[in-house]
Structure 1
Amino acid sequence: MAMVVCVGAVFFMLGLLLYGYYAWMKRVNALRSRLQRAHVQASVINYDEGDLGDLPDPVKRYFSAVLRDGQPLVSHVNITHSGTFNTGGEKDRWVPFRSKQCVVTRRPGFVWDARVRIAPGMVVSVYDAYVAGKGALSAKILGLVSVMEQPSTPELAQGELMRFFAECTWYPTALLPSQGVRWEPINASQARAAITDEGREVVLVFTFDKQGLMASVYSDGRYRDIDGEQVATPWEGRFWNYQWRHGMMVPLEGEVSWLLPEGPCPYWRGRIQKIEYVFHSHPVVHR
C-alpha cells in the first residue's frame, strides 16, 4: 500500500510539474506572438558610417569601435543568459538563474523568460516584457503559484522600455539615429540619448571607455517597486567582456544595480551563453 501511495505521489508531482510548465509557456508564447505581430520593417537595412553626421564624438567613436561599414541592421535577437539574481533586496541573497530572451528592435520590444532556483528543488518562473507599448512582469513557483504579478501601469511600461534601451548594447545597430535614437553631447566620455514609443520617452546617459566601448548606462529615475508603490530610483547597468559577434562588438557580461543613498545595490549579474541575430536582409546567424 505504501508503495502505491509513493508511486501515486510521484505521478501526481510529475503531472503538476508538466501542467505548470505548459500553463506558463502558454502565457510566454502569447507574449512572444504579440511581440512578433508588433514588428515593423525598417526602411534602412544597413549601417553607413557616413550617416553619423553631427553625433557627439564619444558616440561616433562607439559606432566606429563596434560596427563595420555596411553592417546589416538587426531586426530580431534571441539570447540565452545565465547568472545570479539577488532575491534579498538590500540584503544580498544571490541565487542562480537561466533565461531566454527574444527581442524585436522595431517597434521596440522584448520577452525575457527565466528560471530562478531559489532553493533546492524550488524553481520560480519569471517573465519580464515590453510588448506593443505595454509592460509585463510575473513570477510563479513551478509556473503555478503566483509570488509577484505587477499590473500593466505606465510606470512599469516606462521601466521596461528603459530596459530595452539599455540592452541595445547587445544589438548596437538599434542605437543608430536612423532607428529613431536622438543623441546629445555631455562631455568627452558621455552622451545622453532618448527614444520614444507609444508617446512614451525614455532617456539614458551612456558612458564610454577609452576604447570607445559602452561601459555603462544610467537613469536618474527608473521606477522601483517598494511595498507596492512605484518609486523613481537612480539605476545603472554596466557591461564588459566585449567580443565580436557577426560583425558587431558586443559585451558578454553585465551587472544591473539600483543606486541607493547608502550605495549601489546590484540585483542582476549575467553572461550571454548564446546570441542569435536576424538581420533585415539576412537569415538567422548562430554564433
Structure 2
Amino acid sequence: MTSVLWLGLAFGSIAALAIGLSAYGAVRWADSTRWLLARLEDGRMPTTATRYDAAELEGLPAPVQRYFHAVLTTGQPIVTAVSFDMTGTFNLSATGEQWKAFTSRQHVIIRRPGFVWDARIAMLPGLTVRVVDSYIAGQGLLRAAILGLFKVADLSGEGEIARGEFMRFFAEAVWYPTALLPSQGVRWAAVDARSAKATMADGPLTLTLLFRFNDEGLIDSFRAEARGSMVGKEMVMAPWEGSFSDYRTRDGMRVPNTGEVAWLRPDGRKPYFRGTLTALSYEQT
C-alpha cells in the first residue's frame, strides 16, 4: 500500500509540474508574441490607394484581369491589415509522415509588408509545441519551443530566412487580394492563358511567384522555384508550391477557405501544411 501511495504522489507531482510549466510557458510566449505584434504595428505605412478601380487592370495579362474581376468589385476598399484564425494539420517530418493538429492566429500588415503567425501544435496530450513565424521590417523569424519554453528551432535575421518569410506573405495574398493589385506595387507578366508571374519587392528583397488560375478565374495555386527550409540543421533550397480551394465571399472579396502547402523534393511532392479558416477580420481604407 505504501509503494502505491508513493507512486501516486510521484505521478501527481509530475502532473503538477507539467501543468505549471505549461502555464508559465504560455505567459512567456504571449509576452514575446505581443512584442512582435507591437513591432509589426510600428512599421505600418500609408496605403498607395484607397479603393480598387478596374481601370488599373488595363494592359495586365488576361488571366490576371479575370482574377481581379472575379474577386473584387469596383470601389472595393483596399485592405490595410487582416487577422485570421486557422485549424488544420502540420507534418513535422521532412522525410516521412508525422501529421499533428494545429491551431493558429495570424496578423498581417499590408504596408510595410509583414505578418506574425502564432501557432500551437499538439504533439501529445498535454504537450504542445508553440511556433511563431514572422516577417517584420525586412527581418524573418522562425521559432519553435516545447511548451513555449524549450526551443527546438530559432532562426532570425536577413538572408534566406527573411526571403522565405516574405515569400510566405506574397503567396498568402490570396487572403488579402487587393495587395496583388498593380497600384500596390505588384508587377504581372504573362505566361499562358491559365498562369502569370507576379513580382513584389520590399527593401532589398524582390520575389517572383508563378500563379495559376482555374476555370472560374480564381487563383488555384502558386509556385516558387526555390525557397529555403531547414532539414535537420541544414538550410536546403527546394521548389515550393501551394494550392487553394473553397472560395467564399468575405467583406465583398472572394477568398479561399482552405489551403495546402508542399515542398517539391527529389523524391517527390511533400505536403506539410493543410489549413482551414475559422475566423477572418479585415481592416480596410
Confirm or deny a common fold (TM above 0.5).
Answer: yes
Q: State the Cα distance separating 1:4 from its structure 2 match.
A: 7.5
Supply the distance in 2 between the matched residues of 1:102 and 1:126 (Cα, whole angstroms). Answer: 14
| 2:127 matched residue in structure 1 | 122
**1:24-55 residue CA offsets vs partner (Å, 9 max, x unmatched):** 11111111111001111113110001111211
Supply the distance in 1 between the matched residues of 2:148 and 2:266 (Cα, whole angstroms). Answer: 35
| 1:113 matched residue in structure 2 | 118
Q: State the Cα distance separating 1:262 from its structure 2 match.
A: 2.2
1:42 match: secondary structure: coil
Pairing 1:152–2:157 present: yes
Paired residue type of 1:190: S
Residue among 228, 237, 241 paired with 1:236: 241
1:211 match: secondary structure: coil
Paired residue type of 1:196: A
Cα gap change, 1:210 to 1:17, in 2 (>3 Å): same
Residue among 203, 207, 210 paired with 2:212: 207
Q: State the Cα distance separating 1:6 from its structure 2 match.
A: 6.9
Q: State the Cα distance separating 1:230 from its structure 2 match.
A: 2.0
Supply the distance in 2 between the matched residues of 1:52 and 1:278 (Cα, whole angstroms). Answer: 23
Cα gap change, 1:8 to 1:257, in 2 (>3 Å): closer
Paired residue type of 1:15: G
Paired residue type of 2:239: P
| 2:185 matched residue in structure 1 | 180
Which one is further off, 101-110 or 15-24? Answer: 15-24
Paired residue type of 2:178: T
Equivalent positions of 1:8-47 (< 5 A) are 11-47=16-52
| 1:48 matched residue in structure 2 | 53
Supply the distance in 1 between the matched residues of 2:208 and 2:177 (Cα, whole angstroms). Answer: 17
**1:123-173 residue CA offsets vs partner (Å, 9 max, x unmatched):** 100000101110000000111011111232410000000000000000100
Supply the distance in 1 between the matched residues of 2:13 and 2:195 (Cα, whole angstroms). Answer: 62
What TM-score do the two structures reach when normalised by structure 2? 0.94
Supply the distance in 1 between the matched residues of 2:87 and 2:246 (Cα, whole angstroms). Answer: 15
Q: State the Cα distance separating 1:12 from its structure 2 match.
A: 4.0
Pairing 1:89–2:94 present: yes
Which one is further off, 158-167 or 38-47? Answer: 38-47
Supply the distance in 1 between the matched residues of 2:260 and 2:12 (Cα, whole angstroms). Answer: 44
Residue among 203, 207, 222 paired with 1:217: 222
2:163 match: secondary structure: helix
Which one is further off, 234-243 or 254-263? Answer: 254-263
What TM-score do the two structures reach when normalised by structure 1? 0.93
Paired residue type of 1:47: Y
> Which 5+ residue runs of structure 2 have no aligned equivalent?
none
Q: State the Cα distance separating 1:260 from its structure 2 match.
A: 1.4
Cα gap change, 1:233 to 1:6, in 2 (>3 Å): closer
| 2:106 matched residue in structure 1 | 101
Supply the distance in 1 between the matched residues of 2:60 and 2:20 (Cα, whole angstroms). Answer: 57
Supply the distance in 2 between the matched residues of 1:224 and 1:11 (Cα, whole angstroms). Answer: 37
Supply the distance in 2 between the matched residues of 1:235 and 1:151 (Cα, whole angstroms). Answer: 20
Supply the distance in 1 between the matched residues of 2:47 and 2:81 (Cα, whole angstroms). Answer: 12
Cα pair 2:48 2:184 within 8 Å, conserved: no
Equivalent positions of 1:2-13 (< 5 A) are 11-13=16-18
Supply the distance in 2 between the matched residues of 1:11 and 1:242 (Cα, whole angstroms). Answer: 45
Supply the distance in 1 between the matched residues of 2:15 and 2:237 (Cα, whole angstroms). Answer: 46
Supply the distance in 2 between the matched residues of 1:8 and 1:92 (Cα, whole angstroms). Answer: 34
Pairing 1:76–2:74 present: no
Paired residue type of 1:91: G
Supply the distance in 2 between the matched residues of 1:6 and 1:59 (Cα, whole angstroms). Answer: 61
Cα gap change, 1:237 to 1:143, in 2 (>3 Å): same
Identity of aligned residues (%): 43
Supply the distance in 1 between the matched residues of 2:232 and 2:99 (Cα, whole angstroms). Answer: 21
> Which 5+ residue runs of structure 1 have no aligned equivalent?
281-287
